[in-house]
Amino acid sequence: MAALQTRLRLLRTATGETQTALGQALGVGQRTVWGWESGRVKPDWEMLAALGDHFEVSVDYLIGRTDDPAPPRPASSPPLARWLRERLVERRTSVRALADATQVPLPVLLQIQEGTADEVASQHLRALARHLGAAEEEVLAMAPGLHVSDANADPLSRVAAAAAEGLTDEERRQVEALIRRMRGRSRAEAPDRP
């Protein structure tokens, strides 16, 4: 990883940053940055991604796999992915720290950040919204092409949602009425709790 040492030092000095300033921006100490630049310490893959984002270069460029510093970006990044990346930069936090704070699995956050997620549990989006100070509805609205599943929904709600796809309005009302009756029956049959 000699390329990393050289390119990291070149990028940092080209932007006029000190090792201390770079460390603060990434949430690490000056000694860690010095370790990367001297080759004594190697950043993990998450920190490589953070370095790439910080300097707006690809990880492949940082580690010497290409001489093209431009990071590959999709033509249009999904709104949720852009929003999450902006919040991470604003708060100067890592994806791993966000995963720990919100209990959202790291792979899910990485997929959201890269815009490659195709399904996310609604409780994960709600946890992100709460932790990052956004309205839940706002975050859910940023995921129009994303299938948002409700892992906490009761089985009848999940059946209703699956059954509602492709139904007419009248058929949908009939399904909803049937589910209301079933819920009423199950509550009536449930034993009294102290």
Per-residue pLDDT band at 29 (split at 50, 70, 90): very high
CA distance 75 to 140: 22
The answer to the question of residue 72 being in a domain is: no
Note whether 123 and 94 are same-domain residues.
yes
Asked if pLDDT for residue 188 goes beyond 80, the answer is no
Domain count, the chain: 3
Confidence of residue 193 (pLDDT cuts 50, 70, 90): very low
Give the pair of three-digit tokens for residue 10: 């070149």
pTM over the 0.85 mark: no
Q: What is the pLDDT of residue 194?
A: 47
pLDDT tier at 20 (50, 70, 90 boundaries)?
Answer: very high
Task: Please report which confidence band the pLDDT of residue 28 belongs to, taking 50, 70 and 90 as the band edges.
Answer: very high
Output the CA–CA distances (angstroms, integers) from residue 152 to 72, 86, 134, 155, in the order listed: 36, 29, 21, 9
> What average pLDDT is seen over the chain?
78
| Residue 163 burial (C-beta neighbours within 10 Å; 0-12, 13-18, 19+) | middle
Q: Are residue 164 and residue 122 in the same domain, yes or no?
A: no
Helix (H, G, I), strand (E, B) or coil at 91: helix
Look at residue 154 and tell me whether its pLDDT is greater than 50.
no
In a domain, 44, yes or no: yes
Residue 177 lies in a domain: yes
Q: Check whether residue 140 and residue 86 sit in a common domain.
A: yes
144 found inside a domain: yes
Q: Looking at the domain assignment, is residue 71 inside a domain?
A: no
Task: Give the count of beta carbons closer than 10 Å to the beta carbon of residue 120.
Answer: 21
Note the maximum CA span of the chain. 72
At residue 147, the 3 state secondary structure works out as: strand
* Residue 31 covered by a domain: yes
Q: Please indicate, yes or no, if residue 69 is contained in any of the structural domains.
A: no
Q: How far apart are CA 104 and CA 98, in angstroms?
A: 8
Lowest mean pLDDT among 15-19, 25-29, 71-75, 145-149: 71-75
What residues make up the domain containing 178?
A: 155-189
Question: Which residues have CB under 8 Å from 12's CB, separation 6+?
Answer: 18, 19, 22, 33, 37
Euclidean distance between CA atoms 95 and 118, whole angstroms: 19
Residues 145 and 159 in one domain: no
Based on the fold, state whether residues 133 and 164 are members of the same structural domain: no
Q: Rounded to an integer, what distance in angstroms lies between the CA atom of residue 54 and that of residue 46? A: 12
Q: Is residue 162, in this structure, part of any structural domain at all?
A: yes
Same domain for 125 and 168, yes or no, is no
**Residues 37-57, mean pLDDT to the nearest whole number:** 89
